Structure 1
Amino acid sequence: MVEPGTRQQLDPGRPDSLLVSAASTVATLEDLAALLRDLRRRHARRRRDSHLTYRELAAKTGWSQTAIAEYFTARTLPPTDRFDALLEVLGVSPAEQRALATARDRVEEDNRRIGARRTARRPGPGRGLASGVAAHQLPAAPRMFTGRTRELDCLDAALDERSRAADGTPLVCAIGGMGGIGKTWLALHWAHRNLDRFPDGQLYVDLRGFDPAGEPMTPAAAVRGFLEALGVAPSAIPAAHDAQFGLYRSLLTGRRMLVVLDNACDTAQVAPLLPGHETCTVLITSRRQLVGLIATRGASSVALDVLPGDEARQLLARHLGRARLDAEPQATEALLACCAGLPLAVGIVAARATIHSHLSLGALAAELGEDAHRLDGLDAGEPQADLRGVLSWSGRALSPDAARAFGLLGIAPGPDLGEAAAASLLALPPAKARTLLRMLEQSSLLHRHAPERYRMHDLLRLHAAEQADAQHAPAEVRAAQRRLTDCYVRTACAGAQLLADRPAPLPAEPVDGSVTHPLTDPASAMAWFDTEHTNLLAAQQSARRHGWDGPVYHLAWALDPYHRRRGHLEDQATVWQLAVTSAQRLPDQALRVQAHQMLGDAYAQLGKTADALQSLHEALALAEQSDDVSSRGEIHHSLGGTWERHGDHRRALEHARRALLIFEKLDDTYRQARALNGVGWLQARLGDCAEARANCQAALTLLRRLPVDDRRVGESDVLDSLGFIAHRLCEYERALEYYGQALAICRAQGHSYLEPDILQHIAETQFAQRRVDQALDTWRRAHELYAAQHRLTDASRVQRQLDALAV
């Protein structure tokens, strides 16, 4: 006979009777947890492996690691269904299962009797305090909840860490994000998933921090509701607010309770409602970041972003059924794009599609497709299902300056903004603009996704633009857009000058209120262009719509060196197409010449020879009309490149020589060197390597007379030509030396477009030396770069070489 409170270790080879006997002696939760630990060890011995970790048990059962840890450490009695599932995982026999289930029920009954006696003895605050009252105020779990695995794991981890710390303070976790992002759904889903961890009850209140009904709820009103839920009769609630809060904290002391403070306005509203004991957990949802709560109370923070595409699709499928989505896949994708990952928007779309089930999803997608009417389409007719209304609740809490900034930020072209751009848009000093940006970020109306860079959700942007139109005169909105465009134009032109060392065609005076981003060297210029590229393209389109021809041209000019270095060929052609149109209305003929020439260059690089020749001949005709000798040289140089890409090297050489004669007469060292290299390259392609080498060596000598920054990219071109000539003459080591120098310059200058061409030449030379493995590695690197630059023809050519060598 085993005495109560004593146990024997379970032997995997012994019969069920030992565990059944041990289960019959279980008298406390500690005894039951000890048997579970023995079962875990027995399971490990049977499978001849280490025992199942809490993480592995969590994966097998779908429960949190903290819950499992509490079952094995006697902190929580597992519910019946979970206890049975745990026994099944641990491999008990039917007889053992029955004995252990009986033991569990016995512990539960003993705990209930003990709890009743303690409740009867607990001193109340006075007459009217009900005994044994457990509050269960949580609203129902959201049935359509989808995804959010990372955020749920964060909440689990926060509770796990707090349980381990046991520092006497409650866990406080703030869930933040914009309106409609799903904060309340996350809080309620997590709460219902973890009810077993809060056996003494759950309190819930909507604090109406952002609500159409009016003022936020006061902490005093909230705590009074909590006291009544905890069994305190209205007549027993103290009159003084401090006493009410003290009583509330006293009643929660020692209880394992969850408090959900939903839709909070700010830290001041929730601070008095925080329990004072470590057994409690508090979840807070708010559109504000509640920085004060994090700073002063050590609260954890979970920031909600939009749903990923697959989770948004899953949410819509849960509403409408997968079959309806599969029947109209394109319309489904269009609807999801209009919702931009916002759960409330997906829900409103689903509600409309459900109510109007006779309409196709395509019809609804068409209604939502236009930006100007999208928010109208995301209104299902009730306050909680009107996205415009829900978003507007955030704006009501803003200061006048922040509200003005919110509206104007909505009219900015491009996906995000840096601080200089924002300061220009708002006509404010950068420090003042930064303060407003951070205020909007704290209100979840902006997201800082990179250092000092901010973006706005697509649907928030539409709402903000509506606010700008409603609150500002058209002239003020237009002036703000003009300041922003000027910021982009002037910073981009400064960057182009650093990259190409040529004077910018800018008016003397900046637009009043515009500021620029400081650029100090070519590396900072390339980094800025990389960051702002999409915004610059959008700014040029915006300038075109406003009829600002000068900025349209200036942005094309400023982007050209960057586009060449990065190989953005399609974008290069697009910006010069816009520039050609705008240049027709500008008074300077030279700008029209250059726009046609640069567009022809862009077409040539895309392989559009006919379009390139048409643009270049238009440029040449304009240059001859105005006797623009320098431009004629540039155009002949471009014509040479166009014919070379077309495969007509003799005609290309004719134009290259015309360009060289012009630049020699102009005594332009850099362009003369560039033309000499063009002539030498084409001579080498035609087999005249001796003349080719002489011309390219002369080009290199001229370039090296110039300052380093002025010659670098041109020098890499010449070195590549000399490497090609050396290869043709079977001087392979010399060729590799030239190529290596050219490659180093390209990489130092960020000229990624030329890098795979040079690697291709290196691979050909290595292959000629019968260094096949090295050649294959180099060709693979070239192929990766060609593919990354979407140069599919070049990538296919290299792939064919690799395939041929693999046979």
Structure 2
Amino acid sequence: MIVAAAPDPEKAWDSSSSYATIDKRILTPENVEQSLDAAESALRDYVSMLHDGLRPAFRSYFAGDAEGAARHLLVLGEQHEGVGRARGAEQCYKAALMMSLPLADKSLQVLALRRMGRVALALAHLPEATSYYERSAELARDSGDVRAEVAARTGVGNVRMYQGRWPDAERIYREALDLAQTVDSSDATLELGQLYNNLGSATTRTGELDEAEQWLERALAVWEEVKSPIDQGVCLMNLGHLRENQERLAETQEAYEAALALPVPTSFKSLAAADLADIYLKEGFVTRAEEMARVAEEHAIAASSPYSLAYMYRNRGNLARARGHEDGFTFYEKALEIARAKGYPSLEADTLADYAELRRVTGGVEEAEAYLERARDIFAQLGASQNAARVQRSLDALRSGIEVSVAAAGD
């Protein structure tokens, strides 16, 4: 029901309900009936999906077909993921893993571990995600399944990206690409395209923009032939990040709008909408930016994705700052709370740099300086030298009294 909730006036900070975060929302009498109807419909759909998925799994299990039972549970887990039920998917994958352990053929075990890694990543359980992906990669290597090993190692790289460890992620992706190229490329197009996507993102973040351009051109060519909306969406988002770094804002907006229009999960739509809101803001379209930020918020709430929520709240803080509304600090505080709790240091650093600008313009120069110092140190620890240098320039300007924006560039 949280999707239909409204801000709670008793919990809104400074009596400003415009700046209520998800934990300060309530259900109002006007939307309770609608929420109950929606919940009832969703529950019926879920029960139907659960029964339809469990019946064949149980039939296989009681017939002594552990492999069949595991396959059915994996399919059911993917269905759970498709409707945003990550914890339900996790239960299915764990059961499938248990079923697959005694099997001589390790392919199902490899897949179950990889799926558990994906769910753990979605739930922001980053150490667990790494462990699952690494176990899957090792088992795939021992089994001689190169494509499965490539997929698992790509998953490890994805965790590093969420952690903001971009040089590590780039290295892992390159190793996975070298491995993928040892098999027939016609059988590994999807895997290659995903690696091109990821290398384009990693090299953008490390400032290797010319190389990023080449990776994303290769990725776009793959998605013209292979129909995978989520991978195409990732490519477009990465292209938008690259164009933004190149200060080609019109093309950035075009890429984000195209990504948002694809049939992709709600967590992805939230990120795309937040990035689009950021571009509208940079182009001076504040009202359009606020409208898109509300879209990002609704998608983030529906997805229950910690990263999407933190990313969206950082964006809302920037919008509030642009309006000159000091109460927008609540968004920055919430983004920092999530980023720290879930282990997203890069997002924490970006939020601190953005928050510093709000503190500077409201007279909190010492606090702004402390935020920038912490953001710089985080980026330095992550090996993000370009970002660390950018924040240092902002810090130097702040200390010298030069009035410049210290906000981090959106990424």
* TM-score for the superposition, normalised by structure 1: 0.33
One of 513, 527, 536 as aligned partner of 2:94: 536
Structure 2 counterpart of 1:494: 76
Once residues 794 and 699 of structure 1 are traced to their aligned partners in structure 2, the CA distance between those partners, rounded to angstroms, is 21
Letter in 2 for 1:614: R
Once residues 611 and 796 of structure 1 are traced to their aligned partners in structure 2, the CA distance between those partners, rounded to angstroms, is 18
Structure 2 residue 204 is matched with structure 1 residue 644 = yes
Task: Select the structure of larger CA radius of gyration.
Answer: 1
Distance change >3 Å, CA 571–CA 497, structure 1 → 2: same
Pairing of 1:142-541 with structure 2 (within 5 A): 490-500=72-82, 522-523=83-84, 525-529=85-89, 532=91, 536=94
Once residues 617 and 780 of structure 1 are traced to their aligned partners in structure 2, the CA distance between those partners, rounded to angstroms, is 36
One of 280, 291, 303 as aligned partner of 1:737: 291
Once residues 203 and 96 of structure 2 are traced to their aligned partners in structure 1, the CA distance between those partners, rounded to angstroms, is 33
One of 146, 151, 155 as aligned partner of 1:594: 151
1:618 Cα deviation (Å)? 2.7
1:428 Cα deviation (Å)? 7.2
C-alpha contact 1:537 1:575 (8 A) present in aligned 2: no
Structure 2 residue 178 is matched with structure 1 residue 624 = no
Once residues 537 and 648 of structure 1 are traced to their aligned partners in structure 2, the CA distance between those partners, rounded to angstroms, is 43
One of 277, 298, 314 as aligned partner of 1:760: 314
Structure 2 residue 338 is matched with structure 1 residue 780 = no
One of 323, 335, 344 as aligned partner of 1:791: 344
- List per-residue Cα deviations over 1:638-682 (Å, max 9, x = no partner): 112222343544533432232112212335455334322321232
Structure 2 residue 169 is matched with structure 1 residue 612 = yes
Once residues 348 and 233 of structure 2 are traced to their aligned partners in structure 1, the CA distance between those partners, rounded to angstroms, is 31
Letter in 2 for 1:536: K
Letter in 2 for 1:658: R
Structure 2 counterpart of 1:573: 130
Q: Residue 585 of structure 1: SS of its match in structure 2?
A: helix
Structure 2 residue 221 is matched with structure 1 residue 674 = no
Once residues 799 and 613 of structure 1 are traced to their aligned partners in structure 2, the CA distance between those partners, rounded to angstroms, is 25
Higher relative contact order (CA 8 A, sep 6+): 2
C-alpha contact 1:660 1:672 (8 A) present in aligned 2: yes
Structure 2 counterpart of 1:197: none
C-alpha contact 2:69 2:96 (8 A) present in aligned 1: no
Once residues 571 and 629 of structure 1 are traced to their aligned partners in structure 2, the CA distance between those partners, rounded to angstroms, is 28
Once residues 237 and 147 of structure 2 are traced to their aligned partners in structure 1, the CA distance between those partners, rounded to angstroms, is 26
Distance change >3 Å, CA 795–CA 570, structure 1 → 2: same
Structure 2 counterpart of 1:397: none
Once residues 126 and 194 of structure 2 are traced to their aligned partners in structure 1, the CA distance between those partners, rounded to angstroms, is 19
C-alpha contact 1:526 1:750 (8 A) present in aligned 2: no
1:759 Cα deviation (Å)? 0.8
C-alpha contact 1:713 1:746 (8 A) present in aligned 2: yes
Once residues 167 and 105 of structure 2 are traced to their aligned partners in structure 1, the CA distance between those partners, rounded to angstroms, is 30
Once residues 792 and 604 of structure 1 are traced to their aligned partners in structure 2, the CA distance between those partners, rounded to angstroms, is 10
More helix as a share of residues = 2
- List per-residue Cα deviations over 1:310-345 (Å, max 9, x = no partner): xxxxxxxxxxxxxxxxxxxxxxxxxxxxxxxxxxxx
Structure 2 counterpart of 1:188: none
Once residues 578 and 538 of structure 1 are traced to their aligned partners in structure 2, the CA distance between those partners, rounded to angstroms, is 15
Q: Residue 135 of structure 2: SS of its match in structure 1?
A: helix
C-alpha contact 2:162 2:344 (8 A) present in aligned 1: no
Once residues 96 and 224 of structure 2 are traced to their aligned partners in structure 1, the CA distance between those partners, rounded to angstroms, is 40
Can you give the 5+ residue segments of structure 2 that lack an aligned partner in the other structure? 1-53, 366-411
Letter in 1 for 2:299: I
One of 683, 689, 699 as aligned partner of 2:259: 699
C-alpha contact 1:536 1:555 (8 A) present in aligned 2: yes
Structure 2 counterpart of 1:337: none
Once residues 648 and 698 of structure 1 are traced to their aligned partners in structure 2, the CA distance between those partners, rounded to angstroms, is 24
C-alpha contact 1:756 1:786 (8 A) present in aligned 2: yes
Can you give the 5+ residue segments of structure 1 that lack an aligned partner in the other structure? 1-419, 430-478, 501-521
Once residues 278 and 209 of structure 2 are traced to their aligned partners in structure 1, the CA distance between those partners, rounded to angstroms, is 16
1:743 Cα deviation (Å)? 2.0
- List per-residue Cα deviations over 1:173-201 (Å, max 9, x = no partner): xxxxxxxxxxxxxxxxxxxxxxxxxxxxx
Percent identical residues? 18
Q: Residue 687 of structure 1: SS of its match in structure 2?
A: coil
C-alpha contact 2:86 2:122 (8 A) present in aligned 1: no
Distance change >3 Å, CA 489–CA 607, structure 1 → 2: farther
Once residues 128 and 104 of structure 2 are traced to their aligned partners in structure 1, the CA distance between those partners, rounded to angstroms, is 20
Once residues 792 and 537 of structure 1 are traced to their aligned partners in structure 2, the CA distance between those partners, rounded to angstroms, is 32
Once residues 267 and 225 of structure 2 are traced to their aligned partners in structure 1, the CA distance between those partners, rounded to angstroms, is 23
C-alpha contact 1:693 1:722 (8 A) present in aligned 2: yes
Once residues 794 and 697 of structure 1 are traced to their aligned partners in structure 2, the CA distance between those partners, rounded to angstroms, is 22
Distance change >3 Å, CA 489–CA 779, structure 1 → 2: farther
Distance change >3 Å, CA 668–CA 565, structure 1 → 2: closer
1:552 Cα deviation (Å)? 3.4
Structure 2 residue 124 is matched with structure 1 residue 564 = no
Structure 2 residue 247 is matched with structure 1 residue 665 = no
Count of residue pairs brought into register by the alignment: 299
Structure 1 counterpart of 2:41: none
- List per-residue Cα deviations over 1:379-435 (Å, max 9, x = no partner): xxxxxxxxxxxxxxxxxxxxxxxxxxxxxxxxxxxxxxxxx9xx98xx779xxxxxx
1:732 Cα deviation (Å)? 1.7
Q: Residue 170 of structure 2: SS of its match in structure 1?
A: helix
- List per-residue Cα deviations over 1:40-86 (Å, max 9, x = no partner): xxxxxxxxxxxxxxxxxxxxxxxxxxxxxxxxxxxxxxxxxxxxxxx
Distance change >3 Å, CA 792–CA 589, structure 1 → 2: closer
Structure 1 counterpart of 2:193: 633
- List per-residue Cα deviations over 1:87-111 (Å, max 9, x = no partner): xxxxxxxxxxxxxxxxxxxxxxxxx
Once residues 499 and 529 of structure 1 are traced to their aligned partners in structure 2, the CA distance between those partners, rounded to angstroms, is 6
Once residues 96 and 228 of structure 2 are traced to their aligned partners in structure 1, the CA distance between those partners, rounded to angstroms, is 36
1:495 Cα deviation (Å)? 1.8
1:689 Cα deviation (Å)? 0.3
1:488 Cα deviation (Å)? 6.9
Letter in 1 for 2:193: G
Once residues 650 and 661 of structure 1 are traced to their aligned partners in structure 2, the CA distance between those partners, rounded to angstroms, is 17
C-alpha contact 1:489 1:555 (8 A) present in aligned 2: no
Once residues 75 and 125 of structure 2 are traced to their aligned partners in structure 1, the CA distance between those partners, rounded to angstroms, is 18
Q: Residue 307 of structure 2: SS of its match in structure 1?
A: coil
Structure 1 counterpart of 2:302: 748
Once residues 623 and 691 of structure 1 are traced to their aligned partners in structure 2, the CA distance between those partners, rounded to angstroms, is 31
1:528 Cα deviation (Å)? 1.9
* TM-score for the superposition, normalised by structure 2: 0.62
